[in-house]
Amino acid sequence: MVNNKMYELGTKKSTIRTIFEFGRKRAAEVGEENVYDFSLGNPNVPTPDFIKEAAVDILTNMEPSAIHGYTVAPGNPQVRKALADSINSRFGMHITEKNLFMTAGAAASITICFKALSQPEDEYITFAPFFPEYRAFVESVGGKLVVVPAQPEDWQIDFAAFERLVNNHTKAVIVNSPNNPSGAVYSEETIKKLAQILQAKEKEYHHPIFIIADEPYREIAFEGYTVPYIPKYYDNTLVCYSYSKSFSLPGERIGYIVVPDTVANFEKVYGAIAGAARVLTHVNAPSLWQLVVGRCANMPSDISTYVKNGQLLYQGLVDAGFECVKPQGAFYLFPKCLEEDDYAFCKRAQKYDLLLVPGTDFGCPGYFRAAYCIKTETIKKSLPLFKKLAAEYK
Ligand code: PLP
């Protein structure tokens, strides 16, 4: 009677959701302040004042139909121009409004790209650990998600494993840096090597292999870590950007796709992106929020809370005996569990009301994700509990 796949996607709760809901239940029982919920990637830094001021000014002073009316499908041309200018000045690019397509955030951007590119038997490569929604998005367009095993020493790329998995069916490689869940930033060396391998594979298979750069965390990179702008290194790159994390606007749904001129068959790819957005009933990205981000194109993100929280949690975990790669960006740590079974470990952590997400969900068993976009005070109070948890394994 209904599409079973859709039913399954709509009713089967993700582990993250289940843990989050368990947390809400525990908060009702023992008090909000006694639950240490590291499960969700919902930014806790308040949305900046300049966003509110821009929204209020637009709502007060602009014509309602110009604020709330349909925009052209790719998005308001002046907004796209403002964003293109900002990208050019930050990354030394030479794009214009015709290279941008406004979307309802990164999830929309990447799904539109998958839909736009997909042909029968296409494969999309991702690197473990990875954002679990990739599987749902890729499979929704009939694609196959291929996972490159993780390189846990530094969460960069295991290139030998990667090269074995690229084949004639590879349509695109998904790159997410700063990474959810590992908190790693891919180095320039990693990006250069990835580009070099893909250029060789494109020659070998006589067709483009795209990089889909999923970049909602681009602005959240810590001191000493630079996030290379991938189109500078690899021609066939589509950049999927979002303001969900950088300006703490996840509920408003606003972002964009960059399709640089260097992309093979630019007109076809951009046209297919417009077509994919159309059948996904995207119509246009939220028009008020297009105007707001257009005005705030050059405004900075405040990442100081994430810097502080990341350092605090990292040091606390290392002191308690956990193995963990230092925070480099985003707002996640991905430490090793103290037993092989990550589900059993996270279950045991729940005894202390520490809510952690098993790494298996991100294609990386034996690890757990801790999202530290929460109150600094909560992290401080959680550290003795991590110590107690670790003591159980000594
Ligand atoms: N990609 C990654 C890696 C994410 O972590 C998220 C959200 O958590 C998204 C995409 C989706 O972000 P958006 O809210 O912009 O759709």
For CA atoms 343, 348, 353, 356, the dihedral sign is negative
Q: What is the pTM of this model?
A: 0.97
Residue nearest to atom 8 of ligand 1 (CA): 41
The pair of structure tokens assigned to 156 is 């960069």
Tell me the two tokens of residue 25: 């239940």
* Cα 216 to ligand 1 centroid, rounded to whole Å: 6
Tell me the CA–centroid distance for residue 334 and ligand 1, in Å.
Answer: 17
For 181, residues 6+ apart whose C-beta sits below 8 A from its C-beta are 129, 131, 332, 334, 357, 359, 362, 364, 369
Low-confidence ranges of the chain (pLDDT < 50): none
Atom of ligand 1 nearest to the CA of 105: 15
Q: Which fold has domain 67-295?
A: Aspartate Aminotransferase; domain 2 (3.40.640)
Question: What pLDDT, on the 0 to 100 scale, is given for residue 106?
Answer: 98
Helix axes 304-320, 376-391, angle to 10 degrees: 10
Q: Which atom from ligand 1 is nearest to the alpha carbon of 250? A: 14
CA of 244 to the centre of ligand 1 (A): 8
Separation of CA 107 and ligand 1 centre (Å): 6
> Over the stretch 283-300, which tens digit does the pLDDT of each residue have?
999 999 999 999 999 999
pLDDT at residue 17, as a whole number: 85
- CA 178 – ligand 1 centroid, Å: 11
Q: Ligand 1: which of 111, 114, 134, 244 to mutate, judged by most atoms within 8 Å of the beta carbon? A: 244
Q: What's the alpha-carbon Rg for the chain, to the nearest Å?
A: 21
Which whole-number Å values give the CA distances from 161 to 153, 157, 164, 244, 336, in the listed order? 15, 9, 5, 32, 21
What is the per-residue pLDDT for 216? Answer: 98
- Residues having CB closer than 6 A to ligand 1 are 41, 105-107, 131, 176, 180, 214, 216, 242, 244, 250, 255
For ligand 1, what atom is nearest to the CA of residue 255?
15
Q: HEC profile for 323-384?
A: CCCCCCECCEECCECCCCCHHHHHHHHHCCCEECEEHHHHCCCCEEEEECCCCHHHHHHHHH
* pLDDT value for 16: 87
Ligand 1 centre to CA of 300 (Å) is: 19
With both helix axes pointing from N to C terminus, report the angle between 287-295 and 77-91 in degrees, rounded to the nearest 10: 40
Protein residue with its CA nearest to atom 12 in ligand 1: 106
Structure tokens at 248: 């703490």
- Atom in ligand 1 nearest the alpha carbon of residue 41: 8
pLDDT confidence of residue 14: 85
Q: How far is the CA of 182 from the centre of ligand 1 (A)?
A: 14
Instruction: Write down the pLDDT at residue 305.
Output: 98
CB atoms within 10 A of CB 26: 18
Q: Write the residue with the smallest CA distance to atom 5 of ligand 1.
A: 180
CA dihedral 348, 350, 353, 358 (to 10 degrees): 110
Return the pLDDT at 12. Answer: 87
CATH number of 4-47+302-391: 3.90.1150.10
Every domain of the chain and the residues it spans: 4-47+302-391, 67-295
Probe ligand 1: pick from 180, 248, 289, 332, max atoms within 8 Å of CB? 180
- The CA distance from 230 to 192, in Å, is 9
Q: Please count the other Cβ atoms lying within 10 Å of the Cβ belonging to residue 386.
A: 24
Burial class (CB in 10 A: 0-12, 13-18, 19+), 265: exposed
State residue 179's pLDDT score. 98
Mutate to test the pocket of ligand 1, among 114, 131, 280 (most ligand atoms within 8 A of CB): 131
CA of 110 to the centre of ligand 1 (A): 9
